[in-house]
């Protein structure tokens, strides 16, 4: 089934996720043969972005599209224009809108007034469905190199994914767990500072699906049992006061949320380390040389997955 808008991972079926991954794999392995010279993508970013914004533009250009890029600072939102009026206006200028907004639910709101497809490029602490798709593409591809098939229903071994850092505010994690839950024999470990734990509604949803979840253990204890480390930064911009932020990042326990060469000595040789980026101090720059570090591969994979997403939307 073709999706007009891409707003939430709850829209996806397992078959659609697999289809997106296969198409992204094709784009990665083959020169692009698909062209949409008559299509225009509009990117509207109300929050700072490097990877999501640039990869959507790169994906569009590789598909032969035109691109109109706007930011909050260059739009009439600075004059008090509502999101609804901005979207109604942009609907006349292109064929799809990639929207980043600081307010949860903004992408869904945009779909109610848009005449063209809306792609959620991150809505506050809500969701980031295109990041989830590029992440599942990365997990599938990297584990496949290690002879682990994420998609195989015949796989009997358990795949353990450990999420580390700000699990409360991470829209990338909130979307990714929903997608991972579609596949068999998955187990989650949560390592988060107090007050930044995984939201209860997600934990409850996964409990209903009988997915194993372990929380409140030390990173050291998770190392030998983890196949995928998904690290996130403590998001300064989500805190009400800097005192609350620094009470975590300057605490003695902060090292429990950081990946260093020393702690990686206890990890599986087949493990992979992921991060949606940007990073601050939670992953040492020395880790970049570790063959298990794949966060810059995530960056590359973002272009191919967003090519698959745009092809899907423009072909609807």
Helices (H), 146-258: 171-180, 200-208, 219-222, 242-249
CA distances from 118 to 8, 95, 139, 158, 313 (A): 11, 9, 26, 36, 9
- Tell me the C-alpha distance between 1 and 233, whole Å: 36
Active site residue 233: no
Active-site option among 43, 52, 160, 162: 52
The structure tokens listed for 48 are 């700072």
* Gap between the Cα atoms of 10 and 227, Å rounded: 25
- With tokens 């930064």, the residue in question is 233
Q: List strands edge to edge, sheet with 40-45.
A: 66-71, 40-45, 96-101, 118-123
Q: What is the dihedral of CA 200, 205, 208, 210, to 10 degrees?
A: -90
- Dist. CA 4–CA 314, nearest whole Å: 9
Name the catalytic one among 5, 39, 100, 101.
Answer: 100
Q: Which candidate in 5, 39, 128, 312 is catalytic? A: 128
Angle at 55 between CA 139 and CA 176, to 5 degrees: 35
In the set 4, 28, 40, 51, the catalytic residue is: 51
Residue 129 and residue 174 in contact, taking contact as beta carbons nearer than 8 Å? no
Q: Is 33 a catalytic residue?
A: no
Per the annotation, the verdict on 79 as an active-site residue is yes
Positions marked active-site: 51-52, 79, 100, 128
């Amino acid at each position: 089934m073709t999706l007009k808008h891409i707003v939430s991972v709850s829209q996806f079926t397992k078959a659609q996720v697999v289809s997106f991954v296969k198409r992204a794999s094709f784009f990665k392995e083959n020169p692009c043969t698909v062209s949409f010279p008559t299509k225009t993508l509009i990117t509207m970013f109300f929050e700072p972005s490097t990877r999501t914004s640039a990869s959507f533009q790169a994906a569009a250009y590789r598909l032969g599209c035109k691109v109109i890029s706007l930011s909050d600072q260059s739009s009439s939102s600075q004059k008090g224009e509502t999101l609804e009026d901005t979207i109604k206006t942009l609907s006349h200028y292109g064929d799809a809108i990639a929207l980043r907004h600081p307010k949860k639910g903004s992408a869904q709101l945009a779909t109610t007034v848009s005449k063209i497809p809306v792609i959620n490029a991150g809505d506050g602490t809500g969701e980031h469905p295109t990041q989830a798709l590029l992440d599942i593409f990365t997990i599938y591809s990297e584990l496949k190199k290690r002879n682990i098939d994420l998609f195989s229903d015949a796989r009997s071994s358990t795949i353990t994914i450990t999420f580390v850092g700000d699990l409360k505010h991470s829209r990338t994690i909130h979307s990714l767990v929903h997608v991972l839950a579609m596949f068999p024999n998955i187990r989650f470990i949560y390592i988060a500072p107090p007050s930044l734990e995984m939201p209860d509604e997600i934990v409850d949803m996964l409990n209903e699906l009988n997915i194993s979840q372990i929380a409140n253990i030390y990173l050291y204890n998770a190392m030998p049992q983890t196949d995928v480390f998904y690290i996130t930064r403590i998001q300064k911009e989500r805190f009400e006061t800097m005192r609350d932020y620094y009470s975590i990042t300057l605490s003695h326990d902060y090292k429990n949320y950081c990946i260093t060469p020393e702690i990686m000595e206890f990890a599986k040789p087949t493990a992979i380390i992921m991060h949606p980026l940007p990073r601050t101090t939670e992953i040492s720059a020395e880790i970049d040389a570790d063959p298990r570090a794949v966060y810059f591969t995530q960056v590359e994979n973002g272009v191919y997955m967003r090519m698959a997403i745009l092809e899907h939307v423009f072909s609807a």
